Amino acid sequence: MGLKTELVILGAGPAGYEAAIHAAQCGMQVALIEKDQVGGTCLNRGCIPTKSLLYQAHQLRIAAQYAKIEIDGEALRLQKGIAQLIKGNSIQFLHGEAKITGPQTVSVNDEIIEAEHILIATGSRTSVPPIPGIELAMTSDHESY
């Protein structure tokens, strides 16, 4: 066995990282695993970047001039804040895709983690209904805006 911990959490979106911080503050040994970016879809591709883009578009309209639009800056700042919270609470962070391999084991990056408890906080996938013209729509999983 590689790492032994009391709790392993799959997914470092809002539910996962908040659960990890709370569990660590309650005295548990915690391992947090994320295959993509800390903060989840909302922070990295959904709510935060969209609101930033809408706000800046509004500002451009008011000013009636063009300016460099910094969409990723706020998300990056928030990501760094979450990373600091994870580190500050002594949470073992592993970047990779996890697989539950047994009742108390998870594998990630060819390492086996043994845990008393496993919490799945992986979020969801975008669902696109079969509506004519839907191919023109954009979801939070699109690469560019």
- So what's the pLDDT on residue 51? 78
Q: How confident is the model at residue 145 (pLDDT cuts 50, 70, 90)?
A: very low
Does the pLDDT at position 11 exceed 70? yes
Q: Which residue has the higher pLDDT, 136 or 36?
A: 36
Q: Which residue has the higher pLDDT, 55 or 85?
A: 85
The answer to whether the pTM exceeds 0.75 is no
Does the pLDDT at position 135 exceed 60? yes
Whole-angstrom distance, CA of residue 67 vs CA of residue 114: 51
- So what's the pLDDT on residue 67? 43
pLDDT digits (tens, 9 = 90+) for 25-74: 999 999 999 999 999 888 887 877 777 777 877 777 776 544 444 556 77
Question: Which of 1, 17, 15 lies closest to 93 in space, CA to CA?
Answer: 17
High-pLDDT (> 90) share of the chain, %: 55
Average pLDDT over the chain, rounded to whole?
Answer: 86
How many alpha carbons fall within 13 Å on the CB side of residue 112?
8
